[in-house]
Chains A and B, each alone.
Chain A
Amino acid sequence: MALFGSARDANLIRSVNRELINRYIDTEVGFYKLNLEGTNTNIYDESDDKVYYGLMKMNSIILKDTKAVQSDDFGIDYARNATFAFLRDDLTAKNIIMETGDVIEYDGEFFEIDSTSSSEYFAGKNPGRDLGFTLGDRDEFGYSVSVVCETHVTRRNRLNIQEVRSGINKKRNDIPRNL
């Protein structure tokens, strides 16, 4: 049985992390979870009227890359990648599961999640998958600290979250021009 990394130690780390992220750093981001029941896809696995659950705000530690401007035959555009790290216990408490395709709003940009990982463990053990603990051979050790999301800035007109065009929109039931 390991000498360090017990549940008591993990609680200390957990409380320090919570205080650090929620009280001192306190950088809020918005999280939009895709509503699969409300979003219909076509044969190309795409949907131009996506439905999201309501905005959820949570604290995060953010590593945002600089803008990479691209200019080619298709015009000017920019790309940016960012890494958002969340305290896993905060997400668990709010019953939030972050997955590829969900959207994070931060600093006026919308980031689509490319991948998520939760493989940062205190004392190198994830209690949920620690064989010694799950088989009942020993007490709880370790602590799964974070959920890290690798993201990229996405075009907001595809999200259907904000109204991005003004003045020219017509409802679908309007008769198209020339008919």
Chain B
Amino acid sequence: MSKPELNKTYSSFNTDANAKPIAQNVDQIRRDDDVIKTPKCTIYDIDFAIMSYVSDIIQPQVYENDSLVDVPIFYANGEKWAQFQARGYMFDEKGKAMTPYIAIRRNSMADRDTLKTLGVNRNPTGNDYLYRNKHTLANRYDRFAVLQGVKPSQEYYMSPVPEFVDVSYEMFIWTEYTEQMNSIIEQIMPLNGFAWGTTWKFPTHISDYSFETVNNTGEDRLVRATLPITVKGTLLMPYELRASNLQKKYSLKRITFSNETSTFNVNTQDTPPGGWEK
């Protein structure tokens, strides 16, 4: 049995043929001749903010054998070569890991409850942030424009409203001693609720701290802690539906009003040939 041909594949009242957007010149403004960077704040940026804040701003340190040791921070479950070879300083000459260290992992991401969007198919027209570029190449001083009474054209950039999300992380701390664990927690805890990040910054909250100390026979004693972290993130993707999220627009230079007579030279006064009732 042949597959039925569908002429309506979207949740709309239009058929596909009518649902296609009509290309208009006003929407087709080239972007290759401007130097405006498309704004973006991606999931990577949120991850980077958390990682860089812990490693560059907090920089946890502990005392070990009368020496002050920086605690390495890495993203959990990286590639094996990166975890082992690139971070050789975390291991002894036989490959045994040397604590302390901190691993961070992203667990989940959800729309922020208080700032949920309707989630309709496309952003309605006009639901954008509007930025005006102060300088435009098109606005260079031009005597011809002055003579013609043409107003300067403003250059606008429209960026969609970002998505507001809650991103959940877990921070795994592994130390050799409970005293070292206390020290690391004491360095992190006061920063609960701060905006974490070095470039992008996001409010970050740590909820319950869970500790685990295990001393099984046949293995080293483990002193570990897990910190659930919630980040109030903002996501602005550079592309949506295969189109750049940043749209460039120009303001109108001149608005001209005219009527049918002046445009088409229609005779609106005389009776048409043969009379009105024909």
A residues neighboring B (CB under 8 Å): 42, 44, 46, 48-49, 67, 71-79, 81, 108-109, 112, 114-115, 150, 152-158, 160, 164-165, 168-172, 174, 176-177
Q: Which residues of B sit under 8 angstroms from A71, Cβ to Cβ?
A: 77, 80, 83
10 contacts between A and B (CB under 8 A): A48-B180, A74-B76, A76-B80, A76-B83, A81-B218, A155-B98, A155-B220, A158-B177, A169-B68, A172-B68
Is there an interface contact between B96 and A78, defined as CB atoms closer than 8 Å?
yes
Chain B 215-273 interface residues, beta-carbon cutoff 8 Å to A: 217-221, 224
Of the candidates B70, B94, B99, B174, the one whose C-beta lies within 8 Å of that of A168 is B70
The smallest beta-carbon distance between B191 and chain A, in angstroms, is 13
B176 beta carbon closer than 8 Å to chain A: yes
Q: B150 at interface (Cβ–Cβ under 8 A)?
A: no
Q: Which 6 A-B pairs rank lowest in CB-CB distance, beginning with the nearest?
A: A169-B67, A77-B97, A44-B178, A170-B68, A157-B98, A73-B76
> Which chain B residue has the least Cβ–Cβ distance from A170?
B68
With both beta carbons as reference points, the residue of chain A lying nearest to B63 in the complex is identified as: A172
A48-B177, A157-B92 known; A76+B97 contact, CB < 8 A: yes
Secondary structure at chain B's binding surface: helix, strand, loop or mixed?
Answer: mixed
For the complex, give the distance between the alpha carbons of A53 and B114 in Å. 63
CA distance A45 to B22 in the complex (A): 75
A177, B71: Cα distance in complex, Å: 14
A44 touches B179 (CB 8 A): yes
- Which residues of B are at the interface with A, using a C-beta cutoff of 8 A? 59, 61, 63-70, 74, 76-77, 80, 83-84, 89-90, 92-99, 101, 103, 105, 170, 172, 174, 176-180, 217-221, 224
A-side contacts of B83, CB under 8 Å: 71, 75-76
Chain B residues lying within 8 Å of A49, measured Cβ to Cβ, are 65-66
Q: Are B101 and A170 in contact (CB under 8 A)?
A: no
Q: Among the listed B65, B90, B219, which residue makes an inter-chain contact with A48, where contact means beta carbons less than 8 Å apart?
A: B65
A171 to B98, Cβ gap below 8 A?
Answer: no
Residue contact A73 to B172, C-beta cutoff 8 Å: yes
- A164: which of B76, B98, B224 is its contact (CB, 8 Å)? B98
* CB atoms of B68 and A75 under 8 A apart: no
Q: Across the two chains, which residue of chain B brings its CB closest to A162?
A: B92
Q: Please determine whether A157 and B218 come into contact, CB atoms closer than 8 angstroms.
A: no
Determine which of B66, B101, B176 lies in contact with A75 in the assembled complex, contact meaning CB atoms within 8 Å. Answer: B101
Given A73-B172, A164-B92: A152 and B70 within 8 A (CB)?
no
